[in-house]
Amino acid sequence: MSAGAASTAQAPPAPLRSPGDLLIVADAVHAHYGQSHILHGVSLSIAPGEAVGLLGRNGMGKTTLIRTLLGLHRASGGTVRVADRDVTGERADRIARLGIGYVPEGRGIFPNLSVRENLVMASRPPAASTRPAWTLARVLETFPRLAERLHHGGGALSGGEQQMLAIGRALMLNPDIVVLDEATEGLAPLIVAEIWRIVGTIRASGIASLVVDRNYRTVLAHTDRCVVLQKGRVVLEGSSGALHGSETLAGYLGV
């Protein structure tokens, strides 16, 4: 190409990210429960530091997709890559160790262990990361309520405190991504606001996130991009800014 042509040509498009640059890449993933075919070829990718919302009405497959990405449910087709490794069919604990902090629906904390024990047992030193490490001290600074309850049993905490403990545990893993499935479900408005504040802190710290929550407006406000599932298929995706006020989105969510 001549220099003249180059100077009049438009700037070349930004190079597509190679899959190796991405944190999670799901390609045409299928999942079943027995004979029920739940996920029908879902593809989804998440880049380092990216905040992604997963939206869709009840029963559309959000939790199943998350569980399949994390190896907690077996994919019946397609592939999942985490940190540039094919983890399809790999054990969930091995996948988690690649840097995924999971806050499941229902929290999954250990009720018979103290707050401190719950946090310390999840601890993993940071991998080669430029981000400051999450330590017990930093988690307690982020969640002052947990500091006050440090020696209480996990089961003795209120619902909101248990949710904070579940998020604190996920951070103790020094993850590259935090996956939050309905983290604000059933909590009082003040606690809900506190949880979203933490989600904002996580995002600002450069950790990627995958967020499911019924309050889709708040999800849009806290993410870069959203993906909408309908009956186990991705029917819509776009930047969260562009999806604000989208009638198509409202139609899929039935709002």
- Binding letters toward ligand ATP, positions 56-95, x by CB under 6 A: x-xxxxxxx-------------------------------
Least distance between Mg ion and beta carbon 181 (Å): 6
Task: Enter the tokens of residue 111.
Answer: 């009720």
- Pick the binder of ligand ATP from 38, 80, 139, 172 (CB under 6 A): 38
From 22-30, 54-62, 116-124, 144-152, give the range in contact with ligand ATP by CB under 6 A: 54-62
Q: Of ligand ATP, Mg ion, none, which one does residue 175 interact with (CB within 5 to 8 Å by kind)?
A: none
Angle (nearest 5°) at CA 27 between 34 and 124: 90
Residue with Cβ nearer ligand ATP (26 or 140): 26
- DSSP states along 101-164: EEE-TT----TTSBHHHHHHHT-----S-SSPPP-HHHHHHH-HHHHHTTTSBGGGS-HHHHHH
Nearer to Mg ion, 63 or 240 (CB): 63
CB proximity list for 44: less than 8 A, separation 6 or greater? 24, 25, 26, 52, 65, 69, 227, 234
Which partner from the list Mg ion, ligand ATP, none does 38 bind, CB cut-off 5 to 8 Å by kind? ligand ATP
Q: Which residues bind Mg ion (CB under 5 A)?
A: 62-63
In the complex, what is the shortest distance from the CB of residue 232 to Mg ion, in angstroms, rounded to a whole number? 12
Q: Choose among ligand ATP, Mg ion, none what residue 58 binds, the Cβ cut-off being 5 to 8 Å by kind.
A: ligand ATP
Interface region with ligand ATP, contact rule CB under 6 A, candidates 33-41, 44-52, 119-127, 152-160? 33-41
Residues of this chain, 159-188, that bind ligand ATP according to CB under 6 A = none
In the complex, the residues that contact ligand ATP under the rule CB under 6 A are 33, 36, 38, 56, 58-64
